[in-house]
């Protein structure tokens, strides 16, 4: 009983920082996000009213926007509303920011989800295959290809994929987007190239990390003991060695989520995708502060949720846990 309580206490001590850290980061990031817009030298009221606006008109519009209130009061109100899903209204279209973001967010989430699946499948298969035959031709090819892909940014990979699969082969569309509700196959035809462009860099990192870690685990005494006891190769690999070797690859995957979202800015431009990144760029061109703040806050939230899930998986899979 005492041992069980000690294990539960140790698990709680490991779990508490994993859950508390994202909350602290979210508050600090939201404060920075709001501050970047609130302290910007540009005047949203003047931008909305145009060059013919008088000082009285600008003062009236500032009061309507609530820009004449103290900074901390505005931040507290904004964050409180944001936690309930209210991100304000666009200064220019008066459309609720949450409506604009959540109309574009499925594009990014589905592409990011497909990119993560492709990264795990391609990187995992390549890393496991290379680790099972270290020093072989396959191992050398995986190492060479992974090293090459790791140096290429997503927009270069995206242009290369368009040239090969759209221009030369004519097999896939070069741009545009079809929602998943229209059917899986039509969606996949438009989504596969941008998802590949976002995933190959992460897949290369997963393959390298998994190969190195798994080679080390396969040489451990517990693996030799499992083989001596008559356990099959597949069970030894997936039930024992891979469980202990997957930690670095999971960490790479957690770090890769911000890379996927960051790469989406350029990828959406290349493939003409109506996602959150393009919405943020349009808001920045117009100095639409509520829309900029909303897109940043939603992106930060997605990144923190994904990283927290990865850290929880590391705590589950590794004896000592792991935090990025």
Round to whole Å and give the CA distance between 283 and 280: 5
Please give the structure tokens belonging to residue 214: 């798994």
Tell me if 127 sits within 8 A of 206, measured CB to CB.
Answer: yes
Q: Say how many C-beta atoms besides its own lie within 10 A of residue 310's C-beta.
A: 22
Give 194's pLDDT tier (boundaries 50, 70, 90).
Answer: very high
Contacts of 287 (CB under 8 A, 6+ apart): 40, 42, 44, 47
Q: What is the pLDDT of residue 23?
A: 87
Q: What is the pLDDT of residue 246?
A: 83
Q: What is the pLDDT of residue 321?
A: 43
Q: What is the pLDDT of residue 193?
A: 92
Contacts of 84 (CB under 8 A, 6+ apart): none
**SS3 of the chain:** CHHHHHHHHHHHHHHHHHHHHHHHHHHHHHHHHHHHHHCCCCCHHHHHHCCCCCHHHHHHHHHHHCCCCCHHHHHHHHHHHHHCCCCCECCCCCCEHHHHHHHHHHHHHHHHHHHHHHHHHHHHHHHHHHHHCCCCHHHHHHHHHHHHHCCCCHHHHHHHHHHHHHHHCCCCCCCCCCCHHHCHHHHHHHHHHHHHHHHHHHHHHHHHHHHHHHHHHHCCHHHHHHHHCCCCHHHHHHHHHHHHHCHHHHHHHHHHHHHHHHHHHHHHHHHCCCCHHHHHHHHHHHCCHHHHHHHHHHHHHHHHHHHHHHHHHHHHHCCCCCCC
Round to whole Å and give the CA distance between 280 and 276: 6
Round to whole Å and give the CA distance between 27 and 37: 16
What's the pLDDT tens digit per position in 6-49?
A: 556 566 666 777 778 888 989 999 998 888 777 766 666 666 66
Distances, alpha carbon 292 to alpha carbons 79, 268, 276, 297, 320, in Å: 14, 17, 10, 9, 40
What's the pLDDT tens digit per position in 57-114?
A: 667 776 776 777 788 888 898 899 898 988 888 877 888 999 999 888 888 888 888 9
Residues in the chain, total:
324
- Express as a percent the part of the chain with pLDDT over 70: 86
pTM of the predicted protein model: 0.78
Angle between the 71-83 and 289-317 helix axes, to the nearest 10 degrees? 60
The CB-side HSE value for 210 (13 A sphere, CA atoms) comes to 31
Q: What is the pLDDT of residue 323?
A: 42
Round to whole Å and give the CA distance between 8 and 18: 15
What's the pLDDT tens digit per position in 136-179?
A: 999 999 999 988 887 888 888 889 999 999 999 988 998 888 88
Give 324's pLDDT tier (boundaries 50, 70, 90).
Answer: very low
């Amino acid at each position: 009983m005492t041992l069980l309580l000690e294990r539960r206490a140790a698990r709680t001590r490991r779990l508490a920082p994993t859950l508390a850290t994202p909350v602290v980061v979210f508050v600090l990031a939201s404060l920075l996000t709001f501050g970047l817009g609130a302290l910007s030298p540009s005047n949203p009221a003047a931008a909305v009213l145009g060059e013919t606006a008088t000082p009285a008109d600008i003062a009236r519009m500032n009061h309507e926007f609530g820009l004449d209130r103290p900074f901390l009061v505005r931040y507290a109100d904004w964050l409180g509303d944001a936690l309930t899903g209210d991100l304000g209204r666009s200064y220019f279209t008066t459309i609720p920011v949450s409506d604009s973001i959540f109309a574009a967010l499925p594009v990014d989430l589905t592409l990011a989800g497909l990119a993560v699946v492709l990264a795990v499948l391609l990187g995992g298969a390549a890393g496991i295959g290379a680790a099972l035959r270290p020093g072989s031709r396959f191992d050398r090819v995986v190492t060479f290809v992974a090293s090459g892909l790791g140096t290429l940014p997503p927009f270069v990979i995206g242009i290369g994929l368009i040239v090969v699969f759209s221009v030369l082969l004519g097999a896939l569309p070069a741009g545009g987007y079809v929602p998943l509700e229209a059917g899986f196959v039509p969606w996949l035809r438009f989504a596969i190239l941008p998802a590949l462009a976002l995933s190959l860099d992460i897949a290369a990192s997963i393959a390298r990390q998994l190969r190195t870690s798994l080679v080390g685990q396969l040489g451990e005494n517990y693996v030799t003991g499992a083989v001596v006891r008559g356990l099959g190769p597949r069970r030894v690999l997936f039930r024992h060695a891979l469980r202990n070797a997957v930690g670095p690859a999971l960490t790479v995957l957690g770090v890769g989520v911000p890379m996927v979202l960051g790469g989406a800015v350029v990828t959406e431009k290349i493939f003409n995708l109506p996602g959150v990144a393009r919405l943020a760029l349009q808001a920045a061109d117009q100095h639409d502060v509520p829309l900029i703040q909303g897109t940043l806050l939603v992106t930060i939230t997605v990144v923190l949720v994904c990283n927290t899930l990865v850290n929880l998986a590391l705590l589950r899979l590794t004896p000592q846990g792991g935090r990025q």
